[in-house]
Amino acid sequence: MTSDPKLLLHRLFTVAVAAVAADTTVPPALPPPPKGRTVVIGAGKAAAAMARAVEENWTGDLSGLVVTRYGHRLPTERIEVLEAGHPYPDSAGQDAARRILEMARGLTEDDLLLCLISGGGSSLLALPAPGLTLADKQAVGKALLRCGATIGEINTVRKHLSAIKGGRLAAAAWPAPCVTLAVSDVPGDDPSIIASGPTVPDPSTFADARAVLAKYGIAPPPAVAAHLERASEETPKPGDPRLAKAETRIIARPADALAAAARLVREHGLTPVVLGDDLEGEARELGAAHAALARKAAPGTVILSGGETTVTVRGNGRGGRNVEYLAGLCIALDGAPGVWALAADTDGIDGTEDNAGALFGPDSLARARASGIDPAALLADNDAHGLFSALGDLVVTGPTRTNVNDFRAILVLPTGH
């Protein structure tokens, strides 16, 4: 293996992200051109890269619009790329969603709606249901993101406050065929959860959405409460004839990223142990649980995992779920010799900060304490970003323009290394 544990961890992350990049995954999944027009729409952190990959590999008529997060734009020629707010929706996302819905409504059975969907699309396609405002959606979304709800629970609510999610976009495109290329960022790769499934039948209900809010004690704005109680227009369900021509192709999965990293681990003469690509739970608690696994792991092991953890925000600090996981892991390991780790979001942005994640080594806690930093106090304040920033151990990549969620690697050095 390389003599530098940090370098190896960075390489594992780089290889994992490259395996799910749009220029690799989009071309082989493209459908044949239709008799009529091809309109491309999309939303998510990978939307711009996916749009450019379509342009570079498509023959014939092509136009459309995709929306991505601020700072994730790429130059395109035939497909317009807009930027909007994430993780909290804004008016730019609302305007983009309205335009996308109108594009879908103007198609015929000879045309094709090609949808490019990736994680982040729920916030970026911010079109409130009739009777609701953007402020209503913002208030509910912020409460859900801070309470520790899972992505499936969050998107169940989002779909029932939206005029475009939960299959409504595909229904609007009827009778045109709708082909969705999706980059999965959700545990289990359920297409109805990815970006709240705008082109996928929705098995959840208004009652499910109300139950999520009740579970976490969230009191929504009056208009939202009334809308969910009224339940006047359900999302399209499996078997809805308007979605008979809708097809979803998942082109990149968290498992693909982990498999690429595992291959590199083997090339370095180490042993990969893949815990799974769908791990959930409170970030700091999962970190502590993984510390116990690392202590028992054989020297020369690399423990890999993916999924989407949650953070219940109780403090006033900064930091996303990856640095929170890593802080929990680091504190629980308490300087165990020979153990290094990296945790980062494959989109390059952990939470709302400018870092993808962070890494640490056996000396991290000692360095922090020598500098007068109390890691446990920072974690209690949800300020894991502050901890790793002070240590100089943030992982900063900039936007990767893909998104298969979290990537975690724990390296247990070989004996004598």
- CATH number of the domain bearing residue 360: 3.40.1480.10
Q: Which residues, listed in sequence order, are joined to residue 343 by a DSSP beta bridge?
A: 358, 408
Do 282 and 364 lie in a common domain? yes
Is the peptide bond between 87 and the residue preceding it cis, with omega within 30 degrees of 0? yes
Do 265 and 247 lie in a common domain? no
- 53 is a domain residue: yes
The CA distance from 136 to 138, in Å, is 5
- 315 is a domain residue: yes
Question: What does 126-180 look like in DSSP terms, one character per residue?
Answer: --BPTT--HHHHHHHHHHHHHBT--HHHHHHHHHTTBSSTTTHHHHHHTTS-EEE
Do 31 and 137 lie in a common domain? yes
Do 156 and 43 lie in a common domain? yes
> Residue 344, class by beta-carbon neighbours within 10 Å (0-12 exposed, 13-18 middle, 19+ buried)?
buried
pLDDT at 2 (0 to 100): 65
Do 220 and 259 lie in a common domain? no
Which of 225, 252, 279 is the last residue before a domain boundary? 252
Tell me the whole-structure pTM to 2 decimals: 0.94
- 417 is a domain residue: no
Do 226 and 266 lie in a common domain? no
Which of 252, 267, 300 is the last residue before a domain boundary? 252
Cβ atoms of 212 and 157 within 8 Å: the answer is: yes
Domain count, the chain: 2
pLDDT at 352 (0 to 100): 81
Do 220 and 267 lie in a common domain? no
Which of 235, 252, 269 is the last residue before a domain boundary? 252
pLDDT at 351 (0 to 100): 82
Question: What does 233-283 look like in DSSP terms, one character per residue?
Answer: SPPPPTT-GGGTTEEEEEEE-HHHHHHHHHHHHHHTT-EEEEEEEEE-SBH
**Residue 125 identity:** L
The CA distance from 170 to 161, in Å, is 17
Do 12 and 26 lie in a common domain? no
Kindly list the distances between the CA atom of residue 183 and the CA atoms of 13, 115, 186, 191, 345, in Å, as whole numbers in the listed order.
17, 11, 9, 9, 14
The CA distance from 254 to 278, in Å, is 8
- 96 is a domain residue: yes
Residue with tokens 């475009």: 164
pLDDT at 218 (0 to 100): 97
Token code pair at residue 14: 């780089």
pLDDT at 60 (0 to 100): 87
Do 235 and 332 lie in a common domain? no
Residue with tokens 């976009």: 169
Is the peptide bond between 238 and the residue preceding it cis, with omega within 30 degrees of 0? no
Do 225 and 352 lie in a common domain? no
pLDDT at 116 (0 to 100): 98
- CATH number of the domain bearing residue 112: 3.40.50.10180
The CA distance from 184 to 171, in Å, is 22
Q: Residues 6 or more apart from 317 whose CB is under 8 A from it?
A: 378, 381, 382, 383, 384, 385, 386
Do 193 and 313 lie in a common domain? no
pLDDT at 63 (0 to 100): 97
Structural domain span for residue 385: 5-16+255-412
Question: Tens place of pLDDT for every residue, the chain, 417 residues?
Answer: 667 999 999 999 999 999 999 999 999 999 999 999 999 999 999 999 999 999 999 998 999 999 999 999 999 999 999 999 999 999 999 999 999 999 999 899 999 999 999 999 999 999 999 999 999 999 999 999 989 899 999 999 999 999 999 999 999 999 999 999 999 999 899 999 999 999 999 999 999 999 999 999 999 999 999 999 999 999 999 999 999 999 999 999 999 999 999 999 999 999 999 999 999 999 999 999 999 999 999 999 999 999 999 999 999 989 899 999 999 999 999 999 999 999 999 999 998 889 999 999 999 999 999 999 999 999 999 999 999 999 999 999 999 999 999 999 999 999 766
As a whole number of Å, the CA-based R_g of the chain is 22
Token code pair at residue 320: 């996303």
- 101 is a domain residue: yes
Do 83 and 195 lie in a common domain? yes
